[in-house]
Structure 1
Amino acid sequence: MELLGLSLPLLALFVSFGFMVGVLFGFFGMGGSFLITPTLLILDYPASVAIGSGLAFYFGTSVIAVMKHYDIGQVDYKLGAALFVVLSIGIELGSRLVFALEALGIANLVTGVAYVVLLAGIGAIFLRRAYNLEDEDADDDVDDEEIPAVGQKIQSYTIPPMISLVSGGRASLWTISGAGGIVGLVSGLIGVGGGFMRMPTIYYLIGTPLTVAVGTSLFAGLFSGAFGTFTYGASGSVDLAVVSLLLVGSALGARIGSAATTVVEEDDVIVYFGIMMVLASAGIALSELANWLGVGTLDVLSVVLLVGSSFAVASIILYEVVKTSAGSRPTQPAPNGDD
């Protein structure tokens, strides 16, 4: 039996996977396309379809996030518009590179290797942060509105044209173009929204307060995600059935994940997130190895590592929410009135 051209097991997988990614998105503030694209690659979707669908999913989740930041003044619209232009150019170049690689028959290989390196690097960063948690706890008084030293240093180089920032500083259009162009190129090449790269770029290189960096990153990502979706959709490289099922699950998951931030200590989960990234990297590496060796068992193991590790972290978050909710329920008095 099939629905929307997909078997029931695949329907259940995409909805539940979307829910899990939604939980992670709501909790960690990351769009989740960095998990969607490699999963579709492992399920033997063409690289262009996997990338296009990943960008479309990111666009859908970004709409929800931007609406939350719209009314609280955490968006630099001028900077976001400038980033949108250079991100779009980068995504266009990245998508053209993907199609060129597909013509050579190596798109899946290049995309897979890029994911292995990128996710392993992200995982290493998070695990390093977990290792240094005690040092970070000593610096809890750091103000989110403070601009990093490297951002202040870059802002000191006043190479025209300059644009004014909402935070009061000024940034060179050359800095914005270089940073945004590189993030856009990577986004178009491997099919990720780029939030985990774009927000630190705005914060550290362009030099904005952290809260503004988050909101502006989401704003720029909304439009760049729309452009990337259009770019791949115009060539028929977006699977609307898959994207719709993922968004159905993520709509509920994102709400739960956002609520979890008020009851769960992020430091308690961040080490698991780092492990999830490393396991996801290992999963994609096994998938590439399975393709080279023709060993189906490695392909199954790669899916288990990629999807299973993500579900495990989401389950930890959900468990903490349920435990906290259960512990906060008022105690009912005994029937006889005794305590």
Structure 2
Amino acid sequence: MEILGLTLPLLVLFVSFGFMVGVLFGFFGMGGSFLITPTLLILDYPASVAIGSGLAFYFGTSVIAVIKHYDVGQVDYKLGAVLFVVLSIGIELGSRLVFGLEALGIAELVTGIAYIVLLAGIGLLFLRRAYNLTDDDDDEADEDADDDIPPIGQKIQSYNVPPMISLTSGGRASLWTISGAGGGVGLISGLIGVGGGFIRMPAIHYLIGTPLTAAVGTSLFAGLFSGAFGTFTYGMSGSVDLAVVSMLLIGSALGAKIGSAATTMVEENDVIVYFGMMMLFASAGIALSELADWIGMGGLEMLSVLLLVGSSFFVALMILYQVAQTVSTDGSPTQTAPEGGD
């Protein structure tokens, strides 16, 4: 039995996976395509289809996040517009590179290796942040760290390399810095099929030098349009599976609402650890998939799917569990969790 060209097990998988990714998206502010694309690759979708569908899913989920941040004034529209242009150029170059790699027959290998390195690196950074968070709490008790520009951002802003652009959040940034940061993120987005929020937001915060809250909103604003452009680029070549994207978005719509509500109920320290673990498990899952293709072991392929999909389910379930636990005890929010880009 097939619905929209999908078997019933795949339909259930995509809707439930979309729900869990939606919970993560609502909580962390990330589109989730960094999980969608490698999952589709493991399920033997062509690299271009996996990447195009991942970008399409990111575009759909980003609409909700942009509206949320627009309402609270956390978007630098001028910076976002410039980033959109350079991100689009980077995505176009990245997509052309993917099609070239497909012609050589190595697109899946290159994309898989890129994912392994990126996800493992980000996972380790999150775990390191969780390890240092307790020590940082004492130093930051009297200041709002989210509104600070990091030292590296201040240093980069101190170099006056025309043309300079005034930032809504304060300060000025060189167009060359913005172009380099945005173009590099766009290239990675087009190459591996992610919205790029988990690298775009840190780039805006640390390299361009904006406060974290403005970096999150501006990242999502720029990602909305770059995601639309990436979807269009891959869609024109028939590389977006609308059935898969639709099922993912159906599940994500409900999950995102629950995840957004959870930000006031879940302790930050625990979730940072869970998220770092999820990244590492996802990286290990993709590595096992690549190894399975190389040595031809089907068992490793199944284990890779369990690690990749199961890690996101685990973190989302932990968020839902802590929400349920908070509501059952006193129903009061405990701490607002941070949002990021995805």
Give the structure-1-normalised TM-score: 0.96
Q: Distance in 1 between matches of 2:158 and 2:92?
A: 31
Q: Secondary structure at the match of 1:123?
A: helix
Aligned to 2:337: none
Aligned to 1:328: 330
- The amino acid across from 1:104 in the alignment is L
Q: Structure 1: which 5+ residue stretches go unaligned?
A: 331-339
- The amino acid across from 1:36 in the alignment is I
2:222 is the alignment partner of 1:186? no
Aligned-residue offset at 1:329: 6.4
Aligned runs of 1:289-308 on 2, under 5 Å? Answer: 289-308=291-310
2:272 is the alignment partner of 1:262? no
Identity level (%): 82
Aligned to 1:81: 81
2:135 is the alignment partner of 1:140? no
Aligned to 2:315: 313
Aligned runs of 1:219-298 on 2, under 5 Å? Answer: 219-298=221-300
Q: Distance in 2 between matches of 1:241 and 1:140?
A: 47
2:91 is the alignment partner of 1:91? yes
- The amino acid across from 2:53 in the alignment is S
Aligned to 2:39: 39
Q: Distance in 2 between matches of 1:206 and 1:68?
A: 23
Aligned runs of 1:47-58 on 2, under 5 Å? Answer: 47-58=47-58
Q: Distance in 1 between matches of 2:179 and 2:167?
A: 15
Deviations 1:265-301 (A, max 9, x none): 1211211111111111010000011111111000000
Aligned-residue offset at 1:4: 0.5
Q: Distance in 1 between matches of 2:28 and 2:35?
A: 14
Q: Distance in 2 between matches of 1:150 and 1:2?
A: 53
Q: Distance in 2 between matches of 1:328 and 1:137?
A: 25
Give the structure-2-normalised TM-score: 0.95
Deviations 1:290-331 (A, max 9, x none): 11111100000000100011101110000111111122369x
- The amino acid across from 2:235 in the alignment is G
Q: Structure 2: which 5+ residue stretches go unaligned?
A: 333-342
Task: Count the aligned residue pairs.
Answer: 330
Aligned-residue offset at 1:168: 2.2
Q: Secondary structure at the match of 1:238?
A: coil
* Partner residue of 2:207 out of 205, 219, 223: 205
Q: Distance in 2 between matches of 1:43 and 1:136?
A: 42
- The amino acid across from 1:320 in the alignment is Q
Aligned to 1:157: 159
Deviations 1:62-99 (A, max 9, x none): 00000111122111100000000000000000000000
Q: Secondary structure at the match of 1:163?
A: strand
